[in-house]
Amino acid sequence: MNNTKQLEKKINKEYKTGNVKCAIELCQIGLQEDPTNADLHVRLGDLYLAWHLDIYNSCQYIDEAITEYQRALESYIDSAEIYFKIGQAHFYKGELDKAINYLDMAISKKPKLAKAYYLLAETYTKKSRFVEASMNARKAVKFKPLANSCAHFLLSNLYNVSSVKSFKMKIKAHFEYLLSLLTLPFDLQALKNVARFISYLKFFPMLVKSMYLVQTKKFDKAIETYASAIDKAPGFVPLYSLLGDVYCAVGRYDDAITEYKMAIWLDCLNIEAYRHLCQAYEEIGDYDSAVEIYQKLIQIMPNMPDVHSNLANILFVKGDIDGAISHFQTAVTLNPKKQWTSVINQTLGFVYQESKKDLDAAITSYQSAYLQTPEDIDIYINLGSAFYDKEDFSNALQVYRNALDLEPNNPKIHCNLGFLYWGNGDLDEAIKEYELAIEFDSNYDIAYNNLGVIYLDDLGRVQKSIELFKKSIECNPNYALAHFNLARAITITGDKIEAAKLYQISQDINKITNEIDPQEIVEKINGLFS
């Protein structure tokens, strides 16, 4: 008995002086002499867990902790405390479902175990199950209202991210935050967390140095400095996001993703880390993962318009047009500011026009954008295009004329007017507008090409059309349609070899730009020598 007490004193002494490894070795020696000592098994489990938390070593130490707790449980089958410790270990290991299971067992043995409710709240928060998280956080503060700053603070955050946005919910969030401050001096765990955070201040010069290295584009040195800081302060959450940002800057997106995930693991309500993680997934083309993270972020903060807008853009790329429209509409609802609403409505108009072929909906969206920012010339261009597609030439013409009142020298408006007159059979006005577009922009490839088509197909002036197509290609060498039309004109002159070369060029470019039906090019090439 005396030997056991002496051993415990030695273990405590080594632990208090920070020599966790030595304390572990003493426990192991004690268990060699007395393998059935449940208290030593619990103590050893605590030390393994403390070692992990102090140095963020590999999960092997958590596994060792769980093993020791399980051995102790053989003697203390009804111990709520041991069930809690096992649940805690699984939580730190990231095995959240197992953590929930053991924490529930702890509560079944001791229904008022506040710390178990708190850890359950943390676990459910990491799983984005905020209703269960709030319920357990409330029970944590109910059964331990005074010395429970951590639970009050968590509950405050959960109220802030609640999907129920009301004045009452805001008051609750502020009240819990106030309680977290008032109860802080009585909460040992919270004080330890504060002390740990304060200890991170010594790394401030290192942070300043890292930021300077980033600004001067010395990214390798910045990465090295941030990594060194993480080794010294593995629990300081901002370091992971900052390191992730540097990895993104040098194109190491997989490494950035790892860092952002770590930041989120340490702080599952880290909104900026979620944002940056989504952007990193977008950069590598992993749109499925980006969608998943955006959806999770919306669960946490449902009322962020930019998140809905970003998710809508990705859904559009993935071909989920209805999903994209839904989130664009939500984005408009959440942010009533004129400039924002106008941009989103223009985007919605484009989606309706090009993907849904719903011209009435497109026109409505463009008109809504116009009401917000009537000075935006792009709205006139888009609205006129929608009216043209609907074959409502009079309204399209009126919209373009209104646009010219704002910007009489805008080449795009003149080009669109040219297209409108051309489609309506008024060749003289079409030519006039295309020539004005070229006058105001001498490198306007589309205007040269379209004017060339008029001279070729409508007026039969082959040489003039050739000049215009060549000018279009000069302005934009990767314009497949201009190469295609030049080939058509060259064919008429009888130079089939040159025409074939031009068709081949248009075919190669078209594989990237998708301007022309590929079959039409094939038919033209085959027709040259048939």
The confidence band for 196, taking pLDDT boundaries of 50, 70 and 90, is low
- How far apart are alpha carbons 182 and 44 in whole angstroms? 34
Residue with the bigger pLDDT between 340 and 19: it is 340
Percent residues over pLDDT 70 in the chain: 94
For residue 47, count other CB atoms closer than 10 A to its CB.
26
In the structure, what pLDDT confidence band is assigned to residue 52 with cuts at 50, 70 and 90? low
The letter for the amino acid at 55 is: I
Asked if residue 434 lies in contact with residue 414, where contact means CB atoms within 8 angstroms, the answer is: yes
> Confidence class of residue 507 from pLDDT cuts 50, 70 and 90?
very high
Average pLDDT, the chain: 87
CA pseudo-torsion sign 98, 99, 102, 105? negative
Domain boundaries, given as residue ranges, for the chain: 1-111
Q: What is the pLDDT of residue 97?
A: 93
Gap between the Cα atoms of 145 and 22, Å rounded: 37
Q: What pLDDT digit, counting tens, does each position of 305-337 carry?
A: 889 999 999 999 999 999 999 999 999 888 878
Exposure class string for 396-408: b at 16+ Cβ within 10 A, else e: bbebbeebbeeee
**DSSP notation for 235-296:** T-HHHHHHHHHHHHHTT-HHHHHHHHHHHHHH-TT-HHHHHHHHHHHHHTT-HHHHHHHHHH
pLDDT band at 2 (very low <50, low <70, confident <90, very high): low
Please classify residue 519 by burial: count the beta carbons closer than 10 Å to its beta carbon, then call 0-12 exposed, 13-18 middle and 19+ buried.
Answer: exposed
Nearest-CA neighbor of 222 among 238, 239, 237? 239
Q: What is the pLDDT of residues 54-73, one digit of tens each?
A: 544 444 578 888 888 898 88
pLDDT band at 53 (very low <50, low <70, confident <90, very high): low
Residue 51: pLDDT over 70: no
Closest CA to 311 of 303, 300, 323: 323
Q: Taking 90 as the threshold, does the pLDDT of residue 9 lie above it?
A: no
- Cα 507–508–509 angle (5° rounding)? 95
Q: Which residue has the higher pLDDT, 515 or 205?
A: 515
> 321 or 270, which is more confident?
321
- pLDDT, tens only, 101-128: 999 999 999 999 999 999 999 999 888 7
Give CATH superfamily name and number for 1-111. Answer: Tetratricopeptide repeat domain (1.25.40.10)
Residue 8's pLDDT is 78
Separation CA 297–CA 284 (nearest Å): 20
pLDDT tens, residue by residue, 376-428: 999 999 999 999 999 999 999 999 999 999 999 999 999 999 999 998 899 99
Average pLDDT over every residue of 266-287: 89
Question: Which residue carries 């004045």 as its tokens?
Answer: 167
Asked if pLDDT for residue 303 goes beyond 50, the answer is yes
Count of CB atoms situated within 10 Å of the CB of 470? 15
Residue 119 contacts residue 91 (beta carbons within 8 Å): yes
pLDDT tens-digit map of 155-180: 888 888 765 667 777 888 888 888 87
* Model confidence pTM above 0.75: no
Per-residue confidence (pLDDT) for residue 130, from 0 to 100: 83
| Cα angle value 202/205/206 (rounded, 5°) | 95
pLDDT above 80: residue 433: yes
